[in-house]
Amino acid sequence: MRITKTLIAAIALVGGTALLSGCAAGGDAADSTAATAKTGGTLVYATGDDEPPCLDSANRGNVPQALLASQYLETLFYQDKDGTIEPWLAKSWKVAADGLSVDVTVRDGVTFSDGTPLTSEAVKANIERVVDGSTQSTTGRLALYAVKGVDIVDATTARINLSTPDSALLESLSQIWLPIESPTAIKRSLEENCVSPVGTGPFVVQSWTKQDNVTLVKNPHYTTPPPGAAHTGAAYLDKIVWKFVPDASARFAALQSGDADVIDTLQPENAVAAKGDPALAVLIGSRPGAPVQLTLNTTRAPFDDASVRKAFFESLDVDSALKSVYLGTVDRSTSLLSTSTRYGVSDVSVKYDPKDAGKLLDAAGWSARDSDGYRVKDGKRLTVVIPTTVFVPLSQAVYEQFQATAKKVGFDVQLNPQDSAGWWSQNYAWNYDAIPIYYTKNSADVLRIIYWSKNATSTTVNGYHSNNAGDLGPEIDGYLTQAEATTDDAQRAALYKKAQDAIAALNVTLPIYDQQTRLGYRADVKGIRFLPSLTLPSFYDAWLDK
């Protein structure tokens, strides 16, 4: 049974602590008006994500970069929690009748923190450096696949030229992986810009002590608050110290003691503990794009066989694993798109069914078992290699439960824990049978990025392929290409539904749960809000009530 769903701003409750999805105010933030806010102070943020290799989010393009860069870089457009596009650094835009160009006019009187004015030249320089690969961009470059170049119309208007109409272009240009940075600063070497990118945001990078912290200071000349901000002018905080604390227990202990004001990648047991502590609060939001999921490699055995793919998914008891490991803090995903992404289609046709899985394997020739109980065929064991990593936020305990239930059916699931570098190396080489992934993007265009056949065979400058399943055929490519080209909302919805139905029928991806931004914070931190385009925290309105 497949049910079309619209954009959902889901709100869950854990022991009375609101866990908010989409754009939301955290804790008392809804009451923290400009009249009551206190100015000054240093906020300490402890992150469990990897330390970014570069502070410029246009380089490569991962979530740790995006979390940091959202404090000092900004985008041309802003996407609200309902998916509506609004101008931010842009003042207006106009799409050509044939859809092959978009004129973007920037706001007057805006300057970057180094004093360089915002002009159409800045738009041209920033977009073209991503498209030409000089930033080593992955996420941003994949989003701008249709961009041929940028022309200058006048001092404030740039024309973005496209090879094909792109209905997701403005959505892409509201992502922090496509920021507008000082054209003066980006003339520096890539290495220099990675250490101290220059934007228009409310904070400025002061220093970066590798393997310790990044220190941000207030931009006193800030003039471009995002739509929906609670105040104007400079930020309330004087400074943010962004500390890298990979150990989850150490992060939560720092929050409890007051050594940290905010922590991310909040563990389920810590979220439950925080609800009973009046000194703490929790803010959790669903990120848009593709949920945390297992994707199967169809380019080699055993998952080049559709029956074996379905049998594997039916051997995994996802609901029980999530319930026992995440303590009710996540919901099972049943869609190729997260609940905060438009055009999602729920597919609940594949369920935990070990009996049917066994029948499918018998029919596929995997009827014999070895002395350890694993299925064999032509002398080969039915083995599934899964490289795991903290880079993808799925607990090792979940994998182990998958391993146990799959063994009952006859799969030999081999978990291969990797650091980020090792995981990416296996990804690049297609050295896996199943791989845990997620992909953050603020539109259903994420389906093109991770399922388009071209993205399985062509790589970015870093060797990355965003399609981890393999070539799924021209039918799916056609739906995704047509959906990208039309601006008619009903047509987009219909085409994305057809694409999702076709992908689901192939049993190449098992959605598990929505990727999330999971924050724990001290109750005396006010005004935290999520920027809804990617559900990333903004500390522009934040202040310390102490």
Per-residue pLDDT of the chain (546 residues; tens, 9 = 90+): 333 333 323 222 222 223 333 333 333 343 455 569 999 999 999 999 989 999 999 998 999 999 999 999 999 999 999 999 999 999 999 999 999 999 999 999 999 999 999 999 999 999 999 999 888 898 999 999 999 999 999 999 999 999 999 999 999 999 999 999 999 999 999 999 999 999 999 999 999 999 999 999 999 999 999 999 999 999 999 999 999 999 999 999 999 999 999 999 999 999 999 989 999 999 999 999 999 999 999 999 999 999 999 999 999 999 999 999 998 889 999 999 999 999 999 988 889 999 999 999 999 999 999 999 999 999 999 999 999 987 677 788 999 999 999 999 999 999 999 988 898 889 999 999 999 999 999 999 999 999 999 999 866 666 789 999 999 999 999 999 999 999 899 999 999 999 999 999 999 999 999 999 999 999 999 999 999 999 999 999 999 999
Question: What pLDDT shows up at residue 478?
Answer: 98
Q: Which two tokens stand for residue 257?
A: 């003691």
Strand partners of residue 242: 45, 214
Closest CA to 171 of 290, 10, 289: 289
pTM score above 0.85: yes
Closest CA to 47 of 530, 326, 390: 390
What are the backbone dihedrals phi and psi of residue 427, each rounded to the nearest 5 degrees, phi first? -65, -50
Identify whether 302 is preceded by a cis peptide bond (ω within 30 of 0). Answer: yes
Q: Which two tokens stand for residue 424?
A: 């990416």
Going along the chain from its start, the domains and CATH numbers come out as: 40-284+515-542 (3.40.190.10), 287-513 (3.10.105.10)
* Cα separation of the two ends of the chain: 53
> Is 293 in contact with 479 (CB distance < 8 Å)?
no
DSSP calls for 280-310? EEEEEEEPSEEEEEEEE-TTSTTTTSHHHHH
What DSSP state is assigned to residue 391?
Answer: T
Q: How far apart are CA 78 and CA 56, in angstroms?
A: 19
C-alpha 184 chain-centroid distance: 29
Closest CA to 389 of 62, 137, 142, 69: 62
Strand partners of residue 244: 47
Exposed/middle/buried for residue 279 (C-beta within 10 Å: 0-12, 13-18, 19+): exposed
Angle, CA 50 vertex, CA 319 and CA 324 arms, to 5°: 20
